[in-house]
Amino acid sequence: MIFSADIEDWQQSVYDFDREVSSRVVRNTSRLLDILAKHSVTGTFFVQGMVAEKFPQLVKSITKAGHELACHSHTHRRIYDLTEAQFRDELHRSVALLEDISGEKVIGFRAPTFSVRDEFLDWYCDALQSEGIVYDSSIMIATVRSCYGFTDDGILQRIRNRGLDTYPMSVSKLFGKNLPVMGGGYFRLYPYWFNRWLAKRLDHNTSVFYMHPYETDTNEYHEVSQLVDISPKMAVHQFARRSSVEAKLHRLLVDYPFTSFREKYYSAKDITLMPASTSCAVAPAPHHYPIPVHL
């Protein structure tokens, strides 16, 4: 099974894209690094460019601990809210930063909020390949919310036809419908036994677990709700059962063997470890274009 984590700061990546990335991301990611170290597990860390920009030492801690470094865009704006030029800019900035800090070639990408769609698949795949990305892990084969998801797995072949590898999130069939399992809000909200029961139907060799370090942050709601209005729906959707995640993670890491995408699929392949260019001399961020926030 693949262990993956999306490294972002909730208040910037979900609540307000123009907010500063806060140091909570450092505390939360460090906590996750400690948990993984305790279980001797290494995985893939999809790091947002804005996080790397503000906290380069965090990127170094991730690679020093033996995890694979991959890219999770720069500002976390959804791909379908960007033009091709804006996406290429986001991608180049973030990949260049990560490679510059780590000295390693980044070969994996995960789109913010799984925001890939058929209508821009051509330029999406082309942009990834022009930055040396080898695989994408942004597809959920389950229409669970209006803003992401595919109803059938034809999308995987359409991505592969464009020369990229793709590894979808894990889903399990229940009453004829694909139910996401082993990830994000689903892992947080489901009781552990229900996650484990759904996971029985998965191919444990190829399944993908994903999470956000902020999901172990039990103090964030208290702080954020004093600063901004949090609707009851958002409170449940984003904060409910965060206190259950750390204990569930420990059980998960005991119950299943985990590795990174790179270790599982590319360790024997001739992937250059050094980036083609470690220059971070990219133009200043033109990333304050107004985009509505979907929650």
Note the residues at the interface with Zn ion (CB under 5 A): 6, 8, 112
Q: By C-beta, is 112 or 183 nearer to Zn ion?
A: 112
Q: Could you tell me the smallest distance in angstroms from the CB atom of residue 112 to Zn ion?
A: 5
Cα separation, 194 vs 131, whole angstroms: 39
Q: By C-beta, is 20 or 122 nearer to Zn ion?
A: 20
Dihedral (CA of 105, 108, 111, 112) sign: negative
Q: Could you tell me the smallest distance in angstroms from the CB atom of residue 151 to Zn ion?
A: 22
Q: Could you tell me the smallest distance in angstroms from the CB atom of residue 285 to Zn ion?
A: 18
Q: Could you tell me the smallest distance in angstroms from the CB atom of residue 42 to Zn ion?
A: 20
Q: By C-beta, is 6 or 217 nearer to Zn ion?
A: 6
Q: By C-beta, is 53 or 254 nearer to Zn ion?
A: 53
Cα separation, 115 vs 178, whole angstroms: 18
SS3 readout for the chain: CEEEEEECCHHHHHHCCCCCCCCHHHHHHHHHHHHHHHCCCCCEEEECHHHHHHCHHHHHHHHHCCCEEEECCCCCCCHHHCCHHHHHHHHHHHHHHHHHHHCCCCCEECCHHHCCCHHHHHHHHHHHHHCCCCEECCCCCCCCECCECCCCCHHHHHHHHCCCEECCCCEEEECCEEEECCEHHHHHHCCHHHHHHHHCCCCCCCCEEEECHHHHCCCHHHHHHHHCCCCHHHHHHHHCCHHHHHHHHHHHHHHCCCECHHHHHHCCCCCCCCCCCCCCCCCCCCCCCCCCCCC
Cα separation, 215 vs 218, whole angstroms: 8
Q: By C-beta, is 95 or 175 nearer to Zn ion?
A: 95
Q: By C-beta, is 8 or 136 nearer to Zn ion?
A: 8
Position closest to Zn ion via CB: 6
Q: Could you tell me the smallest distance in angstroms from the CB atom of residue 201 to Zn ion?
A: 26
Q: Could you tell me the smallest distance in angstroms from the CB atom of residue 15 to Zn ion?
A: 13
Q: Could you tell me the smallest distance in angstroms from the CB atom of residue 150 to Zn ion?
A: 18
Q: Could you tell me the smallest distance in angstroms from the CB atom of residue 278 to Zn ion?
A: 25
Q: By C-beta, is 94 or 250 nearer to Zn ion?
A: 94
Q: By C-beta, is 6 or 100 nearer to Zn ion?
A: 6
